[in-house]
Copies of this chain bind each other. A is one copy, B any other.
Amino acid sequence: MEESTDFLNWDRTQLNKHYEALKEKYAGYKHQAMKLDMSRGKPSPEQLELSISMLDIVTSRDRLTAMDGTDCLNYGGVDGIPEAKQWFASMLGVRSNEIIIGGNSSLTMMHDTLSRAMLHGVRGSEQPWGKLPAVKFLCPSPGYDRHFAICELLNIEMITVDMLQDGPDMDAVEQLVSQDDTIKGMWCVPKYSNPEGITYSDETVDRLANMTTKAADFRIFWDNAYAVHDLTDQPDHLKNMLDACTDAGNADRVFMFCSTSKVTFPGAGVAAMAASVDNVNAIRKQLAVQTIGPDKINQLRHVRFLQDLDHLREHMKQHAAILKPKFDLVLNKLESELGGNNIAAWNRPNGGYFISLNTWDGCAKAVVQMAAEAGVTLTEAGATFPYGNDPRDRNIRIAPSFPSLNELEKSIEVLCICIQLASINKILTA
């Protein structure tokens, strides 16, 4: 009879023996004094190289006017040049007049949009959100730590909602927003969610668009960071949220965000937001006070380099060709090291930048700390939950994009050793 791989079926002798063997392996890795970073969803140098010719595409010899005649070198255009609006509109499936172009960072656009809501309210607000005794946001979790950090900075109370396999737990969401008018908004990473790689189902999108909210000025911050970041030939499909909101008679409900950070360069990209024409007009009025406008030459550079949707898709396939082997390596390694041990569960996303792994309850912090001591930096345990507090202390976000395959292999080996050590320790000390 084959020996069971399930740790729960092992006796203490078996566990102790395995624990000692793992500790020895761990010590060996620790001795190597590695410095491996799997903490952030950062493109690798090879991916950056895919767009390097963009740096040669707008030179002193090129036309520097936008299609409407705007001199891109001079002042003008707080919300972007027409061709950049067209390009982002086609990527997000909206119309040009529903787009506002920003600077290098979509995170900045989200922060600014929420800041403005606090200071002035949004279209339809009776008063600035910051004047209210409390403002709350729904935070499907695990989620993106930097969304949560913005809420914390702005003193917005975060309410955790579970992520299910087809998006946030909509029963919970619908109940919460229907009863509490201090719940003013919600964070969503609707496609290849950070960190679980889940894409919201059509039903989830429709329920979000149609649900009754007690706050009349409720807003969904729709961070479509991975809109075109597919890893496979069978990419997930995301229903158009602006259309869904419009169809539901709630056109103003959604603010969509995206950027080229993981298309061209995180350090020199272009961000954009999309919303109803009424929302866009209201925001543009404030932007006219806030800025002389974002870099128009970089918009030209992007539009000329990325061309159209077909070209973008080909470009993203090149990203996938670099990323997919890394995801596969991680997934295969997790399977070979932990498969059947019954101590961890992980997802197999069709796109995005992360693999989310759940340990046994109460083990994630210990694992992340052990890995760090062996030179492998993971996203801080808890970071994927509001206030950095994972109530079950089990979620670990793996970001395989930046390290080389070789580094990745070592990192995952270390990670798997740490997970086993923490799990066995949990049984032995139970």
Contact = CB atoms under 8 A, between A and B. Distances in A.
Interface of A: 40, 42-43, 45, 48, 52-53, 55-56, 58-60, 62, 64, 71-77, 103-105, 107-108, 111-112, 115, 118-120, 130, 146, 149-150, 152-154, 261, 265-268, 286, 289-298
B55 A290 contact: no
A121 to B, nearest CB: 12
A322 to B, nearest CB: 14
12 contacts: A52-B60, A55-B59, A56-B60, A76-B267, A103-B103, A105-B292, A105-B294, A111-B289, A115-B119, A130-B130, A149-B289, A267-B295
Nearest to A51: B73
Copies of this chain in the oligomer: 2
A131 to B, nearest CB: 8
Contacts of A267: 71-77, 293, 295-297
A266 B73 contact: yes
A354 to B, nearest CB: 15
Contacts of A266: 73-75, 292
A195 to B, nearest CB: 17
Given A48-B73, A267-B295, A289-B149, A104 B105 contact: no
A64 B268 CA distance: 11
B291 A74 contact: no
Contact of A73 (B64, B119, B150, B268): B268
Contacts of A265: 73-74, 297
A392 to B, nearest CB: 26
Nearest to A294: B104
Contacts of A296: 267-268
A40 B268 contact: no
B108 A42 contact: no
A89 to B, nearest CB: 21
Contacts of A120: 153
Contact of A45 (B52, B71, B72): B71
B291 A42 contact: no
Nearest to A149: B289
A247 to B, nearest CB: 33
Contacts of A62: 55
B297 A55 contact: yes
Q: Which one of A104, A111, A118 has the highest number of Cβ atoms from chain B below 10 Å of its Cβ? A: A104
A74 B402 CA distance: 10
